[in-house]
Amino acid sequence: MLKISIVQMEVKHSLEENLQKIKNFIELAKGNLIFFPELALTGYKFPFDSSSQKNINEALLEVQNLTKSCGKSVLLGAPHYEENKIYNAVYLISPKTIKVLAEKNLLFPELDKNFFPGKKRELLEIDGFKIGIIICFELRSPEIARTLTKEGINLLAVFAQWPKARIKHWKALLRARAIENQIFVAGVNALSQIENLVIAGHSLSFSPSGEALNKKSEKEEIIEVSIPLKLEKLPYPMKIPCSKISHKIKNLDELKSIVQKRKEKGQVMVFTNGCFDILHAGHVHYLNSARALGDFLVVGLNSDKSVKKIKGVLRPVNFEKERAYVLAGLECVDYVVFFDEETPEKLIKSLKPDILVKGADWEEDKIVGASYIKSYGGKVKRISFEFDTSTTKIIEKILKIYKD
């Protein structure tokens, strides 16, 4: 049995006031693991700059000293500075350690302007439980919760400053994440005022069957919840279907309609192109890095006709349908579309990507479509290579082996 204390706390815009509240709540909490809301230490109006790191570190040490005397562990929302970047993070503070477990990756435009998208997301293992962490706006992404579920978590912990105006979504999404992943979910929300946004609590926890484990409230309080390690077997299995990868391969007209609808929902389209003749680790790293820049990745694939124009009659090694099928099998690739021309200029002008990606070996002024993308406010990103390999090098190696 894991006993957690969910602290629904009024977050001020003062580190000193928040720190004192946090210390008081730790002493009062009955659980062996205590949850505090997103940015509970500082609030959102804190002067976010690298000079503030010292004050934050000192506050974290004060919290740790208290955990040593009371034998409790704390999950606390606070800023994290690293390499001149600042992240919206959740810290684990225990008698033995202070460490960042998660950094907010999906940033909310209205509030998270001071932060960079984070990459850290580490599981917490305590008393036989595995706990995954998401931060506020990330609750709207079922993919993040499902990925953590695949890692074997028992409990999804959600740290938030969720607006009262959308509190119905908060409750519905917490419950949905519990039911669809068959895990416990505990959400801690703050009480605060951020400019015109009212943050009004309603911290809630749910069982894998969607039953609420506590009552909602809008007052400052500690909510004590007990989570059993052994789950009662549900009468239905959790199924994860395998999608047909060929559905990712689209013609231009199909793709234009899909892109338009996804953009209408505020999603960011990333576009790149290439032959991808013999897929290798360099390609996979490049494509995964490109996908991480937005919400969906479209790959413009040179057709066989196009490849022959560029590389000669002996290429491609693999036919276009085979190359497209292999690309579509990558999780990071959302759609593949062919083009017959030597460059993807027609595709780019038809689809109007938000972000155009090429390798770092390309100078920006040499990238086809770069000036067009920037003319309507799009961005051009150049990605460094992680692996020293290429299709040409692979072919040369095979020929050398054959000759030897």
Residues involved in catalysis = 309, 311
Buried b (16+ CB within 10 A) or exposed e, 258-281: bbeebbeeeeebbbbbbbbbbbbe
Host H or E run for residue 66: helix 53-70
* Angle subtended by helix axes 15-28 and 53-70, to nearest 10: 10
* CA neighbor of 62 nearest in space, from 90, 24, 88, 35: 24
- Residue 159 in tokens: 């740290």
- Residue 207 in tokens: 């069982």
Which is it for the CA torsion 327, 328, 329, 332, positive or negative?
A: positive
Cβ neighbourhood burial of 119 (10 Å; 0-12, 13-18, 19+): exposed
Distance CA 144, CA 117 (A): 14
DSSP string, 21-63: HHHHHHHH--SSEEE--TTTTT-TTS--SGGGHHHHHHHHHHH
Which is it for the CA torsion 267, 203, 159, 40, positive or negative?
A: positive
Distance CA 112, CA 106 (A): 9
- Residue 76 in tokens: 């606390």
